[in-house]
Structure 1
Amino acid sequence: MRSGRSTVILAVVLVALAATAAGLVVRDRYVGHRTVSALFTTAIGIYPGDEVRVAGVKVGTVAAVDPQGTRSELTLDVDRAVRLPEDVKAVIVAQNLVAARYVQLTPAYETSGPTLPDGAVIPLERTAVPVEWDDVKTQLMRLATELGPKAGTSDTSVARFINSTADALDGNGVKLRQALAQLSGVGRILASGNGSLVDVLRNLATFVAALRDSGTQIVQFENRFAALTSVLDGSRSDLDSALTTLSSAIDDVRRFIAGSRDQTAEQIQRLSNVTQTISDHRIDLENVLHVAPNAFSNGYNIYNPDTGSPIGAFIFNNFSNPAEFICGAIGGVENTTAPETAKLCAQYLGPALRLLNFNYLPIPINPYLAKSPSPSNLVYSDPALAPGGAGAPPGPPDDPPAVSAYTGAGDVTPPPDSGLPVYHRGVRICPPTRPPHCFPGHPSPPCRTCRRRGRSRRRDPHQ
C-alpha cells in the first residue's frame, strides 16, 4: 500500500511540473514580453518603468537604462503579441517640460514583411532624442548676445536693422500692400495645387538624387567641356575664318538657288516624268533585268579569244530524244484521243525512234566546231606537265620479289632459257648467257659467278 501511494504522489508531482513548464513556455512565447535594446546619444528624463508606445498606444515599458560613455542603452520590454517591422525606429518623446517622457517605436507594422526578432538592437542611426530646454536657452542667450549692444558702440545690430527697414519702407506702403496681396495669391495657388507641388518636389528630389549619384560623370563632362572650350579658344582665329567662309558660301548658295529656281523646278518635273515612265514599264524593266545577266553571260561564253569572233555549233535538241518529240507532239493535240494516241506511239514507234537520236549533225566532220585552244592559253596546274617539261621526278627502284613464280624460295631450278638466276644453297649462280642481273648498274645484286669474273678481270686487265 505504501509503495502504491508513493507512485501516485510521484505521478502527481510529475504532472504538476509538466503543467508548470508548459505554462511557462506558453507565457514566454505567447503571453510574455519581447526584449529589445535601443541605443541613444542621451537618455535624459527617461527612467525604468516609463512607457513604450506604438502609434500612441502603450505596448511595453522601459526595463533598464544603461549609460555607456557617449551613449546610453535602453532595454525595452514589448508585448510579444505586438509585431514590429525589422527597420523600426525609436524616438524619446517629451510631451512638455514637466511631463514624463516615453519611447515611441515607429513606424507601426503593416500587413506583411519581416519582423524584429527577440533580443534585437536598434542602432544610433535609427534613434532620436528631443532638444533639451537647456540647449534652447543656451542658443537664445547666444542670439541675444549677438544682437545686443557691445562696448564702445552707440547702437546695436537690431537697431540698425530696424532703422534700415524703416527707411526702405518709408513711402512704399502701397507697393508693400500690393506685394503682400500678390504673395497671398501665390499662396492660394500653391494651396489649391498642393498635389502638383508635391509631385514637383518629388521629381526635383529624384533629379537631385540622380545628380548626386552621377557626380563622377558630371566631373568628367565638365573636364571634357573645359578641354573643348580651351581648344575652341585656341582655334578662335581659325573658327572665325571658317565661319566667315561659311557665311559667304551660304550667300553664294542662296543666290544660286534664287537664280536657278525655275530651272530646278523644270528638271524636277522632267525627273518626275522619267520616274513615271519607269513605273509604267516596271514589268518590262523587270524582264530586262531578269534576262540581261544570262544574255551577257552567253555573249561572253561564245566569244573565242583565239579568233576574235563568236563561235558555236549546230545542235538539234529535238532529235536528242525523237520518241519524246514526236509522241509528245501527238499527245499535245487538243482532242479526246490524243493521250491514247501518244501512248500507242511510244509503244510501237518508240523502239525505232530511239535508234535515230543524235545531238550533232550525223556526218563524220562538223565544219562548225572551232579549233582547239591555243597552247598559249592553256594553264597547267603543274608546269612539269606541259610539253617539254621535266616531268615528274623518278621514284625509287622497286626491290626484286623475295619469292619468284618460277623458283619459289630458291630451291627449284628455273626452266632453261628463262634468264633467271639459279640459287645453290642460298647463293645465286649466274646462267651461262649472263642475263641483265649480272651487268653493272642493275638494281639487283650480282651473283657469285659475276663477282668472281669481275675479280678475275681486275687481276688481269690485259685479258
Structure 2
Amino acid sequence: MKPTLRFAVFVVVSLFCGVLVVNTLTDPMTGRSVPYRAVFTDVAGLQPGSEVTVAGVRVGTVTEVAARGGLAEVDFEVVAEQPVPATGLAVIRYADLTGARALALTPGQGGPPLAPGATIPVERTRPALDLTALLNGFKPLFDTLEPAQVNQLAGEIVAVFQGEGGTVSALLTRIVSLTDALASRDEVIGEVIDNLNSVLGTVQQRREDLRGLVDGLGRLAAETAASRQEIAAAIDSGSEVAGSLARLLDGLGPQLSRDVRSVQDVTSMLVRNQSQIDGAVQDMPAFLNALDRATSYGSWANVYLCNLGVAVDGVQADLGAGPHTEVCR
C-alpha cells in the first residue's frame, strides 16, 4: 500500500474516532428541535450545553444564558416530539454530584402545549437550590445537637438531594422531631440563661473586687515563687520536727503504757466504790456546814461542853445544868 493511501486511511479513521468521542461527550440531540426561553432570578451553575430534562430524561440542550434587566434569560431547545406544557414549571436542578446543573421541565396542570419560541415567565420558574445557604440555615440547629445527630441529619439531607433515599417530608419530619426535643427543654434552657445572666450581673457588680482578687492571687503567686527556697527549707524543717516527735514518742512508749494502765486501775477502783462515793458526796454538805460552825470563831477549832453526864456504879450525875452559850443553843 502506498504511503499516501495509508495516510488517507489514518486521517479518516482519526476523524471518525474524534467525531465518535465528541458525540459521546456532548450527546447531541438528533432531529428537529424547537426553541424556547425561560426567565429566572438566579441561574448559578447553569451554562450553555447543560441538559434539558423532562421526568429525568434528556430532551434538549441549553443554548444561551444571558442577564437582562436584573434577571437571567435562558434560551434552550427541545426536540419537536416533546411537547412543553404551557402551565408547567422550569426548574434548575443538580445534574450530578459534581455540581453541574440541568434545566428540568415539569408537566404542571396540563393544558395546551407552549407555542414554539414562547417565554416561560419568572413566576413559573424556580432557581437552583443553594446547598451552602441551605446548610447555613441549619447551622443554629446543628449548634444545639450532638455530633452524632449532626452527622445523621446531614447524611439524610445529602441522601434526599442525591435521590438515594428518603423524601423531603421525611426529612422535615426528622427536623421537626429534633426541634420538638429542643422545645421540650425550653424551660431548662431558659432557667440556665437566667442563671447565667444573674451570675454575670453579680460578676459585673463585683468586677473591682474580682480584679483585686486576681491581682492579689498574682502577687501571692509571685511572692511564693520568690520565696520557694524558704518554703522548701520550712518543709524540710517540718520533716525534721516530725521525725524528732516520732523518736520522742518511741522513747515515752513504755512509761506511757504504764501510766495508762495506772489510770485504768484507778478508774476501775472508782467504779467498784461508786455507791460509797455517792454517799460521801451526798453527806458532804452537812459535814461542811458542821465544820463551818465549828470554825466560825477563829482560825482554830473551839470545843464546848454543853452537857456532861457521869455515871458511877449505876449513879447518874448530870453536870450540864445552867445557862448555855449561843454555840450550845
| TM-score of the superposed pair, with normalisation by structure 1 | 0.24
Q: Per chain length, whose mean CA-contact separation is higher, i.e. which structure has more relative contact order (CA < 8 Å, sep 6+)?
A: 2
**The structure with more radius of gyration:** 1
